[in-house]
Amino acid sequence: MPIGDIRYTVLQVVQEVFRKLGLTQPSSLSTNALSIQMVDFINDTCNDLSDFGNWQETFVSSNVTAVSGRSNYSVQTSANIKNIGQIFFTQRTGPMLYVTVDEMRIMTRVTSVGQPTQFTVFGTDNNGNPNIRVRPTPSTNEDGGLFSITYYIRAPKYTTSDSAEVVPFPGTVVVLGTLARALLNESGGSPTDHYTRVFQEYLEARKEALNRFNGDTGYEVNFMPSVVSRRRR
């Protein structure tokens, strides 16, 4: 199955929504006011999908080089990071332990250098991506080591210039979410039967699509002993 059967470009999403509304599909995103507005609805749908869960389609990993004496790091990426997953350090078998900002502030009041074992998200950089603070602070022995960081990214904000950009989420789900928003806007914000039906289809499709790689992969058998209470006489 080609990727085009699963993921749609921004223009393809708009064109399918137009067809479902019984309208002539536009040849570009800037064809008319409605096609331009559809791009906004796509952005709203992508934000909703991103907030709904961690999608494997948006999973990324990268390496950040440790520098002796530096405890703060940021991931250099053009994407907008949604949240951080695990962090491994080169010389450490297990993942680094996440601690809260308050815990990190307390612990860093005492100087500690060596192999980093703990981290926290400590504010954001100029691009709105998380700053990562580690402890202990890398020493000369850890200089040049690598932090292997996994994280999930958000979809970019699309504009009318992004006709050929492929939306990372399943195309049918994005179409349903965009169509629901278009129907609600068409009715002036008053839910109609048509909107309610499409929106419920979107909610179900959203759940099943996220579950595809997060819940339907592998299997696990659990045996739960029954609890039988007996009343003593």
pLDDT digits (tens, 9 = 90+) for 114-158: 999 999 999 998 888 999 999 999 999 999 999 999 999 999 999
pLDDT digits (tens, 9 = 90+) for 93-119: 899 999 999 999 999 888 899 999 999
Residue 222: pLDDT band by 50, 70, 90 thresholds? low
- Under a CB-based contact definition with an 8 Å cutoff, are residues 141 and 67 in contact? no
Q: What is the pLDDT of residue 3?
A: 67
Q: What is the pLDDT of residue 223?
A: 57
The reported pTM is 0.84
Mean pLDDT of 180-192: 95
**Tokens at 49, concatenated:** 């999908």
**Tokens at 185, concatenated:** 């806007």
pLDDT score of 50 more than 70 = yes
- Under a CB-based contact definition with an 8 Å cutoff, are residues 52 and 203 in contact? no
Q: What is the pLDDT of residue 2?
A: 61
Mean predicted lDDT score pLDDT of the chain: 91
Q: What is the pLDDT of residue 212?
A: 86
- Under a CB-based contact definition with an 8 Å cutoff, are residues 32 and 26 in contact? yes
Query: What are the sequence ranges of the domains in the chain?
Result: 3-55+169-214, 58-154
| CA 4/CA 166 separation, integer angstroms | 9
pLDDT score of 207 more than 80 = yes
**Tokens at 157, concatenated:** 């904000």
